[in-house]
Amino acid sequence: MLVGIFCLKLVFLGNSQNSEIDDLRLTVKALPNDTTKVLKLIDLSYRYIKFQLDTSLVDGKEALKLSKKLNFPFGHAKALNQMGLVYKSLSNYDSAMIYYNKALVMFDSLKIDSEKASVLNRMGNVYKRFGEFDKSIECFMKSLKIYQNNKDSVQISSILNNLGVLYYDMSNFEKALEYQLLNLEISKRLNLTSKLHTTLMNIGNIYKDGENAFTAITYYQEALSYFEKSSNNKYDKMLLMHNLGVTYEKINKLNEAKHYYKKAIALEKEIGEKEMLVFSLQGLGNAFVKQGDYNTGIKYLEESYALANQIKDVRKQHRLSNNLYQLHEKRGNYKKAFYYLKEFGVFEDSVYNLEKKKQFVELEQKYESEKRLHQISILEKEKEIQQLELAKAEQDSTRRKFQRNILILTVLLALVFIMFMVYENRKRKRLNSILKKQNNHILQQRAQIVKQNEELFDANKTKDKLFQIIAHDLRSPLVSIDSLTQLIPFWIEDQDFNSLRKLSKSLEMSVNNLLSLIDNLLNWALSQQGKFPFKPETIDLADISKEILSIYQPIAEFKKIQISCEMCKNSYVDADKNMVSAILRNLLNNAIKFTSENGKISIGSTIENDIAHIWVKDNGVGFSPENQKRIFEIANGSTNGTRGETGKGLGLFFCKEFVNMNRGDIHIDSEINKGTTITFTLPATNILSN
């Protein structure tokens, strides 16, 4: 067992040390929240780590928090390094590595190599705990290189020791010895008496495990001389005494072995080191046994076994129970041998247990046989025969029990297999059900995508048609306006005011058509985006008709068309006023457009069953049955008015949209050269019913 300088040793703080920590605690409390307090908190955390980990953790966290608040990078990195050490001491190695890595990054950015080397050294120790020896060596070598560049011989000695311990744990005794001898050379040159005894012990351990016991004893004795001169470390001294006992036992110098085992035992009892006490008691017992003093040897071995039971060390229980079983069997004490063999069987692993069970049965039979022989010696001949028959019956019973157990085991295995198959079958059915649902979901998504593609195709087709209509219907009024405005200068020059008046009417019609188109386009765009404000309210159709007639009456008079309003009284509907106005404007505009001079247009309504029927009727050019079928669609063709006005049914398309939004319906009744009647419905309000 090598002693690593980096390892935390058992330390008993004296009154002076406790006093120092108490004074430091008072100093920290009196300090303001500055960088000095951060460093003092880290120092406190480091001191408490040896005997009070919870306090060490609290101080470390406070230093971490304060350094971050003060924006103190060096202190923050130091606190991270200390937190890593605390978590390592708590055996929380994952958390320790997180803090070490953060500290390493910060010290690297701050370019503080000495602190970086300290972190790398501690990381190497954690990697060693993980069994990741390559990474551990890499960290130690990086740390060693930094300390060599800084010519820090004390730290170089520590890293060499750590490398020696690591290679020792890897059973690479040659490399371990190489690094420990380098460490010893530096420690002697610098007179590092506090480290010399540890280094000498480690070298002795390497020679001991390398089967060179005499050389090992030489180094152990030298280490012992340094203990007597300068060290009061009872833990390390206890390890040294134990190792001397083991080594003397190996070369069969049993008196010397017992001497050092006893010294080790005294120290172990003094400091409460129970794990090592088990080993030393075992070693002392073995030494007595080798000298033929079985009673004393067994006494120490049983004391060691009892202590192993107390601390629940399974490995030691396993080893000692085996030793005691063999000793008692050898001495013919089969009862105790049977007891320790049974104890040994409890701790034996599954493979080794099969071999030992055979020995257990043999010993049990031997014990039962001895018991039967003893009974036979005190019983009569007849009882002896009966006992033999009983033994045979017991054997038969044992055989039957064995056969029964085999049968039970076979049935259990069959049941387990059946349950497994049932489980797998259910699992397969469940997976098939999930796959079926997923497949149906995919089919539904595919159908939805096809439907969306069709809707998108229709929307694009409608958009293309709409652009054609917009281009045509915008161009026609503008061309008309352009042509008419070119005549204005000539008629002004000729003072032809009658022509100018007619021109103003024509301009008014063109502008009105253009504004109507723009209104329709704006309304349609808003409705497609879902932004058209739909605010149903109670509307008086008579009032809204008057407003619209006042707009279109001058245009109708220009074409010498007579418009009559036949709206019934109390014709109230529940609808959006702007939409109803747009519907009536479009219908009246179309009626004027397709009615000849001296024609007639009427607008009116009737109420039936809480439904308002509103109609616009003219005696104009009319529409063919084919055109009527698609009159409310965005058409490809166009229809000219009585004075050449063009139209593509865009207004009627919007009328249908707005009527539907107001929960109504619209239809057309038309005949060529006789006229057209367009009727739409809207919900009538309760005012009409009343």
Summary mean pLDDT of the chain: 83
β partners of residue 682: 612
- pTM (2 d.p.): 0.47
Q: What percent of the chain has pLDDT over 70?
A: 80
Summarised one tens digit per residue, pLDDT across range 136-157 is 999 999 999 999 999 999 999 9
Q: What pLDDT, on the 0 to 100 scale, is given for residue 606?
A: 92
User: Do residues 664 and 680 make contact, with C-beta atoms less than 8 angstroms apart?
Assistant: yes
pLDDT band with cut points at 50, 70 and 90 for residue 500: confident
User: What token pair was written down for 269?
Assistant: 């009892």
Interatomic CA distance for residues 262 and 249, integer angstroms: 13
Q: Which residue has the higher pLDDT, 634 or 24?
A: 24
User: Do residues 191 and 154 make contact, with C-beta atoms less than 8 angstroms apart?
Assistant: no
Range from 456-460, 537-541, 683-687 that averages highest in pLDDT: 537-541
Give me the residue spans of the domains in the chain: 31-150, 497-689
Helix (H) or strand (E) holding 607: strand 600-608
- Assign residue 477 a region: left if phi > 0, alpha if psi is -120 to 50, beta otherwise? alpha
Confidence check: pLDDT of 13 > 50: no
Interatomic CA distance for residues 514 and 622, integer angstroms: 23
pLDDT band with cut points at 50, 70 and 90 for residue 350: very low
Confidence check: pLDDT of 581 > 70: yes
Mean pLDDT of 586-606: 91
Evaluated on CA atoms 617, 621, 622, 627, the torsion sign reads: negative
Confidence check: pLDDT of 418 > 50: yes
pLDDT band with cut points at 50, 70 and 90 for residue 41: very high
Residue type, 556: A
DSSP string, 235-263: HHHHHHHHHHHHHHHHTT-HHHHHHHHHH
Instruction: Note whether 31-150 and 497-689 share their fold.
Output: no
Domain 31-150: give its CATH superfamily: Tetratricopeptide repeat domain (1.25.40.10)
Mean pLDDT of 79-84: 96
Residue with tokens 């915008």: 474
User: Do residues 42 and 60 make contact, with C-beta atoms less than 8 angstroms apart?
Assistant: yes
User: Do residues 614 and 679 make contact, with C-beta atoms less than 8 angstroms apart?
Assistant: yes
Confidence check: pLDDT of 390 > 70: no
Q: Which residue has the higher pLDDT, 669 or 12?
A: 669
Interatomic CA distance for residues 206 and 219, integer angstroms: 10
Q: 633-642 burial string, b = 16+ CB within 10 Å, else e?
A: ebbeeebebb
Mean pLDDT of 352-368: 53
pLDDT band with cut points at 50, 70 and 90 for residue 516: low
Summarised one tens digit per residue, pLDDT across range 216-274 is 999 999 988 887 776 677 888 899 999 999 999 999 999 999 999 999 999 999 988 89
C-alpha separations of 67 from 24, 42, 64, 70 in Å? 19, 11, 5, 5
- CATH code of domain 497-689: 3.30.565.10
Q: What pLDDT, on the 0 to 100 scale, is given for residue 481?
A: 72
Q: What pLDDT, on the 0 to 100 scale, is given for residue 464?
A: 62
Q: At what angle do helices 254-271 and 234-250 cross, to 10 degrees?
A: 160
Mean pLDDT of 621-633: 86
Q: What pLDDT, on the 0 to 100 scale, is given for residue 373?
A: 42
Confidence check: pLDDT of 369 > 80: no
Interatomic CA distance for residues 630 and 619, integer angstroms: 21
Q: What pLDDT, on the 0 to 100 scale, is given for residue 505?
A: 66
Q: 360-385 burial string, b = 16+ CB within 10 Å, else e?
A: beebeeeeeeeebeeeeeeeeeeeee
Confidence check: pLDDT of 110 > 70: yes
pLDDT band with cut points at 50, 70 and 90 for residue 569: confident
Q: What pLDDT, on the 0 to 100 scale, is given for residue 556?
A: 86
- 256: three-class secondary structure by DSSP: helix
Residue with tokens 């809207």: 682
Summarised one tens digit per residue, pLDDT across range 178-230 is 999 999 999 889 888 778 888 999 999 999 888 899 999 999 999 888 877 76
Mean pLDDT of 97-123: 95
Mean pLDDT of 86-111: 93
The DSSP symbol for 597 reads T
